[in-house]
Amino acid sequence: MKAGSKIVLVSSVAGFRPSTGLGIYSISKAGLNMLTMVLAGELGPKGIRVNALAPGTIKTRFSRALTDDDQISEGILSRTPVGYIGEPKDVVGAALYLASDLADYVNGAILTIDGGVMASAGLG
């Protein structure tokens, strides 16, 4: 069935692996990832596509304590292959894509937007 409606949830890369100090946050995002997949299976046959965005560190008011601290910011940058910390505009295109007709065949996806952090987590 051709897609009718789209649901785009906002998760986090924290939902894929544990991180010190983010226990409850990580647990809630892991649950949101599973919810994305379950709803995709249940609602897909009704023409509703369910996907999620999983950003890494993005410069927002929420992350200001991390991005404004030079030592923490340098640590984040050292693990980010693209060489910079993301900004809200880096997430917007992915959100628009998942909400558009271009993503009619995308269902149950959790798209990481993290500058390559997850892809290189086990390297080096």
At 85, is the secondary structure helix, strand, or coil?
coil
Q: Compute the distance between CA of residue 59 and CA of residue 73 in angstroms, rounded to an integer.
A: 10
Which of 25, 84, 97, 105 is labelled catalytic?
Answer: 25
CB 98 within 8 A of CB 6: yes
At 19, is the secondary structure helix, strand, or coil?
coil
Q: Compute the distance between CA of residue 43 and CA of residue 23 in angstroms, rounded to an integer.
A: 30
Helix and strand element counts for the chain (H, E): 4, 3
Distance of CA 59 to the CA centre of its chain: 14
Active site (annotated) includes residue 25: yes
Provide the annotated active-site residues. 25
